[in-house]
Amino acid sequence: MAAKIKKGDRVEVLAGRDKGKKGDVIRVVPEENRAFVQGVNMVKRHTKPQGMGKPGGIVEKEGPIDLSNLALLDPVSGKATRVGFKVLEDGRKVRVAKPSGEVIDQ
């Protein structure tokens, strides 16, 4: 199945403790149906020192969030939208925002 959310997309969180937050997708893990969004679901990790350049300590970084809790932002209105697919005249399959009909992929 084609991916509705990809790396670099601007998304909004629909559920959970970060509901309403917006951010860019850093990484998608399709096997686990999860994505990492910049500034969302921040978790603290205790890390060991990794030599001279990387000291140890408590590092705060993004945790994975389920794709069902994310919605793509409409390029026209900036609101959360559902995603559909459309085949263009040149044969490319692109993602389309449902309410506005605007093509998301360039």
What does the pLDDT read at residue 16?
92
37 is written with which tokens?
A: 């969004």
Residues in the chain, pLDDT under 50: none
Q: What is the pTM of this model?
A: 0.84
25 is written with which tokens?
A: 């997708």
57 is written with which tokens?
A: 């300590």
Strands 10-13 and 70-73: what pairing? antiparallel
What does the pLDDT read at residue 68?
93
Average pLDDT, the chain: 92
What does the pLDDT read at residue 54?
84
pLDDT tens-digit map of 74-92: 988 889 999 999 999 999 9
